[in-house]
């Protein structure tokens, strides 16, 4: 069932076309990977979907509703949450309060938001850092905080921008487990990632962007075999291990 | 009709002078990103230094520049070290409070020394004017306007044709880049602030032949300057001139046709429109 | 919300309120009461400004406009239409709130933020002052006098004490409102917006609406102060209620005490009030007194900014953090890596 539908999505900045007529449909319950070389427009797409940027052409439908012209906070209210490539926690605010602010998106009261915050902190193994200010957290902790905060908004679609960057292999594995837990919660995941091993293993389907255009879409196996993708991005030597 | 033209003429002349008031402010704002509310007090200082020299030696204001320029430069250096440098890292609210504090101190010290009554400087040409029909153009104002234009021009040349000017523009644009080019950013800031202070003081001196000085006039001056800089573009010399002329003309015409109070209102309405339409001002910054 | 505050904080606040309210029982001198009233009035408008500037990050340089709107509305309604200032006060508050909401909304619609917002509000303040100085309906720059009568129903009292209690009440109410706001949904949104507005929006925070609400609230409360000013000092003019003077009070008290904190504005303004009164008491001879006290005033502004950027509350917190038992608490909470 189509949760998010992008039709002919385009964005140009002056003369530069960052996203070129991208058509994409993401189904409920999927883990959908978005890959492509640097500068191929992936984060721009996130910004377009989340409402941070105005699109030049095309339309975005979420749960059968046209959300193209909505503001970021309205889009969040409708169930799309996103994280940022470089984690941006609220620096002078505790981890707990950071997540609470996210929780207030749907929570009926401040105390309810507090309970949700505790749940999310526990999910991301941050409960022991509950009262630490955002600026005093380590980078992996900040990443987890971003995740906890976005999850607290009770999204239907969670967009993650390079959540694995800079993590150790163990941490990557833990993140993968978290993805499954999130999927079990009924949340669809759209993830931008460069760590190909992770994204190929975790995703149900993948789309590949190059210079703002979608050059391939399919299962990880299909993508791994796609000649265009190999040339543009994966490099000649890449081989998918047999599952 | 004649009232309109009278207002226009006075307005253009005053506009040049306002622009002169503004270039010191826009220099500091553009290069150091500091909002110096005490700028108005610096202008008033220039006025009172001139008054002091006149009271004791009867020198023409232009002659007293020999005193005003070095004094204001040294004063600027001191203020830079004590006040400006520490607040550069702090947010806007700190700039506002600190420089208003400075303004209050300066103006009250002046009141202590000179008293709060209005003072003027009378030179031979204070009351002379060129009269064309029923339009009266004061010589003192013309001289001030001409001087303003000359200084603005010289300042523009300083910024664009000298090494120091290049250093200033580099610092305004990109501090890291400036360091990389071997420019001593701290020294540049220091001297730039000194120059800004001199410009302020001299602009005050230059209007003494026709203006009336009072210690409390600084705030009004700096507010007007602020408006000019928003209209013209922060950090832009040409912008200061453009903004000054616009404000001068609006003020002149509206004062003549209606009243000075309505003129103030008109100026602020223009500001509000500018903020909505084009907050960065019409012209480009120092660096460009 | 107040009822759920930690009991020792609640007790402290009630103690503070009681001490405040009981002062007239001990202070009989009219002069002293007037001084206290003046100080409390200053503290009150600081707390109001703090809501907008400290909590919402709306650095309003035109807040005196709301003071003036309040003062003039209630006064005009009373003088020309015989409506009691008790009612006029709220009308003034509503008018101020509408103006504030409008300005904030328009500014955010046209992306006038930060420093530009400050300038826009500055312009608005000056504009209003200029307009009132030439508008004959409100007696232009001459201003309007109110005659003191023994008519409490018209917000006039012959004694000072009732005025004292009213301004104390306003101060306590505004502090309570600030406290509740801090802990409410809106309060958290304000923190988020201040920290990182874009991220806040991506989390569902409607920053435009939040700012409008807080600014309107702040304007409403400020306007009430304006009416109080009119009823106590019995004179309104553009130079008193629409000039930059009250604005400087609001800024100085709040920023020196600590913006974005509950008691910051009160402490900050208390400091300056006492400083002012102390200076006034010094034997410095003649007219020089006022000038010298202003110089010291200006110097203290400078010194505070240079050495106390987080305000007195910030300093207080740092000092408290240095106390042995507080330091231990901090490390458990993990303020370090």
C195-219 pLDDT tens trace = 888 899 999 999 999 999 999 999 9
Residue C287 C-alpha from the chain's centroid: 30
**Which own/partner pairs from C276-280 qualify as long-range (CB within 8 Å, at least 24 positions apart)?**
C277/C35
Distance CA B34, CA B15 (A): 24
Query: In what helix (H) or strand (E) does residue A48 lie, and over which residues does it extend?
Result: helix A42-50
pTM of this structure: 0.83
Kindly list the residues from chain A whose CB atom is less than 8 angstroms away from the CB atom of residue C57: none
Is residue B215 within 8 Å of residue B114, measured between CB atoms?
A: yes
Could you give phi then psi for residue A120, rounded to 5 degrees?
-70, -35
pLDDT of C283: 64
Is residue C42 within 8 Å of residue C273, measured between CB atoms?
A: yes
With CB atoms and an 8 Å threshold, state whether A76 touches C201.
Answer: yes
pLDDT of A119: 92
The verdict on residue C301 lying in a domain is no
Banded model confidence at residue C309, pLDDT cuts 50, 70, 90? confident
Kindly list the residues from chain C whose CB atom is less than 8 angstroms away from the CB atom of residue B87: 305-306
What is the extent of the structural domain holding C189?
2-245
pLDDT of C130: 82
Distance CA B86, CA B106 (A): 19
pLDDT of A3 > 60? The answer is: yes
With CB atoms and an 8 Å threshold, state whether C195 touches A90.
Answer: yes
Sequence-separated (6 or more) residues with CB below 8 Å from residue B287: B30, B169, B170, B172, B173, B174, B235
Q: Point out the least confidently predicted range of B251-260, C43-52, C318-327.
A: C318-327
pLDDT of C330 > 50? The answer is: no
Banded model confidence at residue A156, pLDDT cuts 50, 70, 90? very high
Kindly report the CA angle at C20 between C17 and C22, in degrees rounded to 5? 105
What's the average model confidence in pLDDT over C242-251? Answer: 84
Chains in contact with B, where contact means 3 or more Cβ–Cβ distances below 8 Å, are C
Calculate the CA dihedral of residues C75, C81, C84, C89 and round it to 10 degrees: -50
Is residue B43 within 8 Å of residue B207, measured between CB atoms?
A: no
Higher pLDDT, C242 or B20: B20
Is residue C156 within 8 Å of residue C149, measured between CB atoms?
A: yes
Chains in contact with A, where contact means 3 or more Cβ–Cβ distances below 8 Å, are C
pLDDT of C274: 82
The verdict on residue C41 lying in a domain is yes
> Residue C184: closest CA among chain A residues belongs to which residue?
A110
Please, do chains B and A touch (3+ CB pairs < 8 Å)? no
Kindly list the residues from chain C whose CB atom is less than 8 angstroms away from the CB atom of residue A71: 201, 206
pLDDT of C325: 56
Kindly list the residues from chain C whose CB atom is less than 8 angstroms away from the CB atom of residue A105: 203-204
Sequence-separated (6 or more) residues with CB below 8 Å from residue B167: B178, B183, B184, B188
What's the average model confidence in pLDDT over B108-121? Answer: 86
In chain C, the number of structural domains is: 1
pLDDT of A228: 79
pLDDT of B89: 81
pLDDT in tens, C104-150: 988 887 777 777 788 788 888 888 888 888 888 878 778 888 888 88
Distance CA C198, CA C89 (A): 38
With CB atoms and an 8 Å threshold, state whether A104 touches C204.
Answer: yes
| 3-class state of residue A93 by DSSP | coil
Q: Looking at the partner chain, which of A82, A91, A149 has a beta carbon nearest the beta carbon of C195? A: A91
pLDDT of C263 > 60? The answer is: yes
Domain boundaries, chain B: 2-121+131-277
Dihedral sign (CA B92, B95, B98, B102): negative
Tell me whether C321 touches chain A (CB under 8 Å): no
Map out the domains of chain A with their CATH numbers: 1-79+187-243 (3.40.50.300)
C303: closest CA of chain A, how far (Å): 25
pLDDT of B76: 95
Query: In what helix (H) or strand (E) does residue C264 lie, and over which residues does it extend?
Result: helix C264-281
Higher pLDDT, B60 or C192: C192
With CB atoms and an 8 Å threshold, state whether A131 touches C336.
Answer: no
What's the average model confidence in pLDDT over C316-329? Answer: 63
What are the Cα distances from residue B265, in Å, to B251, C60, C96, C130? 9, 19, 19, 6
| 3-class state of residue A206 by DSSP | strand
pLDDT of B195 > 50? The answer is: yes
Banded model confidence at residue C224, pLDDT cuts 50, 70, 90? very high
Banded model confidence at residue C334, pLDDT cuts 50, 70, 90? very low
pLDDT of B57: 85
The verdict on residue C183 lying in a domain is yes
Distance CA B23, CA A88 (A): 39
pLDDT of A99: 94
Q: Looking at the partner chain, which of C184, C195, C201 has a beta carbon nearest the beta carbon of A72? A: C201
Distance CA A17, CA C246 (A): 52
With CB atoms and an 8 Å threshold, state whether C53 touches B269.
Answer: no
The CATH number of the structural domain formed by B2-121+131-277 is 1.10.3470
pLDDT of C336: 32
Question: How many CB atoms are located within 10 Å of the residue A166 CB?
Answer: 10
With CB atoms and an 8 Å threshold, state whether C302 touches B83.
Answer: yes
Q: What are the start-end ranges of the H helices in C4-160?
A: 7-26, 30-50, 64-81, 85-109, 114-134
pLDDT of A241: 46
pLDDT of C2: 56
pLDDT in tens, A42-98: 899 999 999 988 888 899 999 989 999 899 999 999 999 999 988 899 988 899 999
Residues 191-220 of C with CB under 8 A from A: 191-192, 195-196, 198-207
The closest of C275, C282, C251, C199 to C45, measured between CA atoms, is C251
What's the average model confidence in pLDDT over A159-166? Answer: 89
pLDDT in tens, A136-150: 998 888 988 999 999
With CB atoms and an 8 Å threshold, state whether A73 touches C201.
Answer: yes
Sequence-separated (6 or more) residues with CB below 8 Å from residue B180: none
Q: Looking at the partner chain, which of C188, C203, C334 has a beta carbon nearest the beta carbon of A129? A: C334
The verdict on residue C257 lying in a domain is no
ipTM for the complex shown: 0.86
pLDDT of C48 > 90? The answer is: yes
Banded model confidence at residue A234, pLDDT cuts 50, 70, 90? low
Kindly list the residues from chain B whose CB atom is less than 8 angstroms away from the CB atom of residue C120: 271-272, 275
Kindly list the residues from chain C whose CB atom is less than 8 angstroms away from the CB atom of residue A128: 334
pLDDT of C282: 67
What are the Cα distances from residue C88, in Å, to A124, C72, C161? 55, 9, 22
């Amino acid at each position: 069932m189509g949760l998010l539908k992008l039709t002919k999505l385009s964005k140009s900045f002056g003369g530069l076309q960052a996203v070129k007529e991208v058509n994409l449909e993401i189904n409920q319950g999927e883990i959908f990977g978005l890959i492509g070389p640097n500068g191929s427009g992936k984060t721009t797409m996130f910004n377009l979907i989340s409402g941070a940027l105005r699109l030049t052409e095309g339309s975005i439908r979420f749960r059968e509703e046209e959300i193209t012209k909505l503001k970021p906070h309205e889009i969040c209210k409708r169930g799309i949450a996103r994280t940022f490539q470089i984690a941006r926690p609220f620096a002078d605010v505790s981890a707990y309060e950071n997540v609470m602010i996210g929780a207030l998106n749907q929570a009926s009261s401040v105390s309810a938001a507090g309970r949700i915050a505790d749940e999310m902190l526990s999910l991301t193994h941050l409960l022991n850092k509950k009262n630490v200010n955002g600026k005093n957290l380590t980078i992996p902790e900040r990443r987890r905080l971003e995740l906890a905060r976005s999850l607290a908004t009770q999204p239907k679609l969670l967009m993650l921008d390079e959540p694995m960057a800079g993590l150790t292999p163990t941490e990557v594995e833990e993140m993968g487990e978290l993805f499954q837990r999130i999927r079990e919660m009924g949340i669809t995941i759209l993830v931008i990632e460069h760590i190909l091993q992770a994204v190929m293993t975790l995703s149900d389907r993948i789309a590949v962007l190059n210079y703002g255009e979608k050059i391939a879409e399919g299962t990880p196996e299909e993508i791994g075999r796609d000649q265009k993708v190999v040339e543009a991005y994966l490099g000649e030597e890449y081989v998918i291990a047999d599952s | 009709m004649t009232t309109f033209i009278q207002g226009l003429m006075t307005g253009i002349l005053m506009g040049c002078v306002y622009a002169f008031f503004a270039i010191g402010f826009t220099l500091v704002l553009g290069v150091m990103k500091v909002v110096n509310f005490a700028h108005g007090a610096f202008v008033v200082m220039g006025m009172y230094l001139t008054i002091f020299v006149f009271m004791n030696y009867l020198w023409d204001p232009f002659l007293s520049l020999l005193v005003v320029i070095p004094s204001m430069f040294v004063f600027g250096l001191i203020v830079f070290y004590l006040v400006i440098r520490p607040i550069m890292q702090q947010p806007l609210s700190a700039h506002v409070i600190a420089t208003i504090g400075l303004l209050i101190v300066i103006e009250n010290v002046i009141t202590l020394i000179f008293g709060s009554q209005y003072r003027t400087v009378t030179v031979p040409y204070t009351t002379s004017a060129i009269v064309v029909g029923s339009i009266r153009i004061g010589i003192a104002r013309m001289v001030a306007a001409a001087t303003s234009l000359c200084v603005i021009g010289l300042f523009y040349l300083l910024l664009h044709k000298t090494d120091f000017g290049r250093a200033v523009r580099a610092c305004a644009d990109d501090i890291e880049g400036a360091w990389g080019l071997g420019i001593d950013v701290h020294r540049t800031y220091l001297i730039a602030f000194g120059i800004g202070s001199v410009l302020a003081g001299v602009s005050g001196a230059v209007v003494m032949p026709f203006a009336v000085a009072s210690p409390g006039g600084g705030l009004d001056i700096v507010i007007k300057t602020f408006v000019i800089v928003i209209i013209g573009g922060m950090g832009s010399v040409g912008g200061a001139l453009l903004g000054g002329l616009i404000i001068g003309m609006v003020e002149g015409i509206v004062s003549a046709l209606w009243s000075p109070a309505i003129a103030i209102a008109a100026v602020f309405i223009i500001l509000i429109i500018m903020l909505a339409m084009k907050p960065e001002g019409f012209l480009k910054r120092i660096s460009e | 919300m107040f009822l759920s505050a930690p009991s020792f904080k609640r007790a402290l606040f009630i103690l503070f309120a009681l001490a405040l309210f009981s002062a007239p029982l001990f202070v009989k001198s009219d002069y002293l009461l007037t001084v206290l009233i003046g100080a409390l009035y200053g503290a009150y408008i600081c707390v109001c400004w703090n809501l907008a500037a400290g909590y919402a990050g709306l650095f309003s340089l035109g807040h005196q406009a709301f003071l003036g709107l309040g003062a003039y509305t209630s006064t005009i309604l009373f003088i020309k239409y015989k409506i009691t200032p008790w009612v006029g006060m709220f009308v003034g508050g509503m008018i101020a709130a509408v103006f504030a909401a409008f300005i904030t909304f328009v500014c955010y619609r046209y992306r006038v933020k930060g420093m530009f917002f400050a300038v826009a509000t500055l312009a608005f303040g000056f504009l209003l002052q200029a307009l009132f100085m030439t508008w004959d309906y409100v007696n232009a720059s001459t201003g309007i006098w109110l005659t003191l009568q023994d008519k409490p129903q018209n917000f006039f009292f012959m004694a000072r004490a009732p005025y004292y209690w009213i301004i104390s009440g306003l101060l306590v109410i505004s502090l309570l409102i600030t406290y509740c706001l801090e802990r409410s949904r809106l309060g958290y949104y304000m923190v988020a917006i201040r920290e990182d507005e874009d991220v806040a929006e991506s989390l569902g925070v409607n920053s435009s609406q939040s700012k409008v609400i807080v600014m309107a609230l702040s304007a409403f409360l400020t306007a009430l102060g304006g009416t109080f000013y009119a009823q106590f000092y019995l004179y309104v003019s553009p130079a008193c209620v629409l000039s930059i003077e009250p604005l400087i009070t609001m800024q100085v008290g709040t920023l020196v005490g600590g913006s974005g904190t509950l008691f910051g504005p009160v402490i900050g303004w208390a400091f300056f009030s006492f400083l002012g009164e102390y200076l006034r008491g010094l034997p410095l001879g003649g007219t020089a007194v006022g000038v010298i006290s202003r110089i010291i005033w200006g110097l203290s502004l400078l010194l505070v900014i240079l050495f106390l950027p987080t305000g007195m509350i910030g300093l207080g917190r740092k000092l408290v953090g240095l106390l042995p038992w507080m330091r231990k608490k901090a490390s458990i909470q993990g303020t370090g890596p």
